[in-house]
């Protein structure tokens, strides 16, 4: 599945559904309007910060609830697949207009996921329900059926989300899908539970259930915003600490940032998960912080050419500083062990060591620096550098990581 194919499929589904709905008319207009307003409000309140799998959980829950709605206040509903997709697509688009106008995070992939997820859920439920296939499923069994369909829909949405991210960034599909699936028990479970409860409650008590069951998910979304804000502040603090070596003149300007960016690209190529990539980023940003404890600075901050014992001493000093900053023990361990023999290192420490050495060797090599630096690293794979990490670095620099093409083109121009 590529990005263009998914976009085309979602656009066709939305267009055909809208045409069918306009031709046949809107069933239960009050219900359609209420769910449309709920979805639009959920999209308006969506969070555009990084690190959140579902930016608009209220909009997602409302969309899925409408797709799986069979009754309203004890009376059967007659909206089908086309109307469910039309209402959700229109409301999602209206709710996304302010985000598009302000030039915030890309919205198109988000809308594609929403349309395809609702279409999948509605196709699985509406035709069978309207033909009486679920008549014998009453009480708890019916609730379990809705929940099972929602879980299946969320899993399919994870597959689509990973495919879109793969086409957009060029990162390996397997770790992207793994990260999406890992997020399902978190916000995914809240969306599933709220969507099922909304559909069941509206079937019994009517539309008054929508505002009642929207409040918990709105509070959850507020908590996610606060978590994302705290995480962003923490990252800014780490980045500021990493610049201390540059401000003091121990390392070239931008060195820590470049090592962190390239380390993340290599980590993605090797299939690291999102939490592992976060640890890798923080460790790469602070990998040189131990040099602040040196009386005599290392020329140009190039520690890769120092004796092994001196490299380990600086790494241990750096790990001690990182622990005092309050960073996680995992980050400190990576910083401490970046100078150990690579068979004894964690993967993140292997990556930081290789990328740091590459960046230093590029500065020293002059014209043809990237090729010369890679060749030197390959010659050092017998004892100093992990061969798989060196080869992953080569793939990234040759354009294997589409998310960071500038690294391969202009790395030697920095510093």
Answer yes or no: is 236 within a domain. Answer: no
End-of-domain residue from the set 228, 255, 282 = 228
Q: Are residues 208 and 350 in the same domain?
A: no
- pLDDT score for 404: 43
Give 11's Cβ-side CA count (13 Å radius). 8
Q: Is 235 a member of any domain?
A: no
Retrieve residue 44's tokens: 């308006």
> Rounded to 5 degrees, what angle do the CA atoms 366, 367, 370 make?
85
Residue 251 lies in a domain: yes
User: Which whole number is the average pLDDT over 322-333?
Assistant: 85
Whether 357 and 389 share a structural domain: yes
Q: Are residues 262 and 216 in the same domain?
A: no
How far apart are alpha carbons 267 and 280 in whole angstroms? 8
236: left (phi over 0), alpha (psi -120 to 50) or beta: alpha
Q: Which residue has the higher pLDDT, 292 or 295?
A: 292
Residue 139 has pLDDT above 80, yes or no: no
Q: Residues 252-271: what's their mean pLDDT?
A: 89
Torsion, Cα of 225, 231, 234, 235 (10° steps) = -120
Q: Is 233 inside a domain boundary?
A: no
The reported pLDDT for the residue numbered 10 is: 93
- Report whether 228 contacts 49 (CB < 8 A): yes
Tokens 């689509």 -> residue: 160
Question: Which pair of tokens denotes residue 348?
Answer: 């993140």
Q: Output the six-digit token pair for 212.
A: 């009642």
Q: What average pLDDT does the chain have?
A: 84
Residues 98 and 180 in one domain: yes
Q: Please give the Cα distance from 77 to 66 (Å, whole number).
A: 10
Total domains in the fold of the chain: 2
User: Average pLDDT in the 109-124 region?
Assistant: 93
By residue range, what is the domain housing residue 176? Answer: 3-228
d(CA 379, CA 360): 16
In this predicted structure, the answer to whether residue 131 has a pLDDT above a threshold of 80 is yes
Residue 193 and residue 317 in one domain? no
Residue 108 confidence (pLDDT) above 90: no
Which distant-in-sequence residues (6+ apart) come within 8 Å of 328 by Cβ?
Answer: 279, 282
- Asked if pLDDT for residue 284 goes beyond 70, the answer is yes
- Does 51 lie in the same domain as 195? yes
Q: Which of 228, 260, 288 is the last residue of a domain?
A: 228
Last residue of one domain, picked from the residues 198, 228, 258: 228
CA 57 to chain CA mean position, Å:
15
Residue 388 forms part of a structural domain: yes
> Do 266 and 391 belong to one domain?
yes
CATH code of the domain covering residue 261: 1.10.3210.10
Is residue 214 over pLDDT 90? no
| Angstrom distances, CA of residue 150 to CA of 25, 196, 224, 280 | 27, 7, 22, 34
pLDDT at 415 over 50: no
> Residue 67 above 90 pLDDT?
yes
User: What pLDDT sits at residue 94?
Assistant: 92
Q: Residue 34: what pLDDT?
A: 94
Task: Please check whether residue 42 is in contact with residue 34, taking contact to mean a CB–CB distance below 8 angstroms.
Answer: no
Same domain, yes or no, for 205 and 306?
no
Q: Are residues 210 and 296 in the same domain?
A: no
pLDDT tens, position by position, 368-411 = 677 888 888 888 666 788 899 999 898 888 874 434 443 433 44
171, part of any domain: yes
Quick check: is 238 in a domain? no
Question: Please, what is the end-to-end C-alpha distance for the chain in angstroms?
Answer: 40
Same domain, 337 and 402: yes
């Amino acid at each position: 599945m590529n990005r263009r194919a998914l976009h085309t499929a979602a656009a066709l589904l939305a267009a055909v559904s809208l045409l069918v709905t306009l031709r046949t008319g809107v069933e239960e207009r009050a219900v359609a309007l209420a769910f449309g307003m709920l979805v639009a409000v959920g999209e308006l309140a969506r969070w555009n910060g990084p690190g959140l799998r579902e930016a608009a959980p209220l909009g997602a829950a409302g969309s899925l609830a409408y797709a799986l709605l069979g009754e309203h206040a004890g009376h059967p509903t007659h909206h089908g697949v086309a109307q469910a997709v039309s209402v959700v697509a229109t409301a999602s688009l209206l709710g996304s207009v302010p985000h598009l106008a302000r030039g915030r995070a890309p919205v198109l992939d988000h809308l594609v996921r929403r349309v395809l997820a609702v279409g999948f859920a509605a196709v699985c439920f509406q035709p069978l329900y309207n033909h009486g296939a679920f008549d014998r499923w009453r009480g708890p069994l019916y609730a379990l059926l809705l929940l099972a369909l929602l879980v299946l829909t969320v899993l399919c949405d994870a597959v689509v989300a990973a495919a879109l991210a793969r086409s957009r960034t060029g990162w390996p599909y397997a770790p992207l899908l793994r990260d999406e699936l890992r997020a399902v028990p978190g916000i995914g479970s809240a969306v599933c539970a709220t969507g099922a409860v909304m559909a069941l409650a509206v079937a019994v008590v009517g539309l008054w259930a929508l505002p009642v069951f929207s409040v918990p998910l709105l509070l959850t979304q507020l908590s996610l915003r606060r978590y994302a804000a705290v995480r962003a502040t923490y990252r800014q603090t780490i980045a500021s600490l990493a610049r201390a070596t540059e401000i003091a003149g121990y390392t070239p300007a931008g060195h820590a940032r470049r090592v962190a960016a390239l380390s993340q690209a290599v980590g993605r190529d090797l299939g690291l998960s999102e939490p592992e990539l976060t640890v890798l980023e923080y460790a790469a940003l602070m990998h040189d912080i131990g040099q602040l404890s040196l009386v005599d600075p290392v020329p140009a901050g190039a520690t890769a050419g120092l004796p092994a014992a001196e490299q380990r001493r600086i790494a241990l000093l750096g790990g001690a500083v990182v622990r005092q900053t309050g960073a996680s023990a995992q980050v400190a361990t990576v910083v401490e062990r970046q100078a150990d023999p690579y068979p004894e290192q964690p993967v993140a420490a292997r990556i930081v060591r290789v990328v740091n050495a590459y960046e230093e060797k590029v500065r020293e090599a002059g014209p043809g620096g990237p090729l010369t630096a890679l060749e030197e690293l390959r010659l050092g794979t017998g004892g100093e550098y992990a061969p798989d990490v060196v080869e992953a670095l080569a793939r990234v620099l040759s354009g294997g990581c589409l998310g960071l093409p500038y690294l391969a083109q202009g790395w030697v121009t920095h510093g």
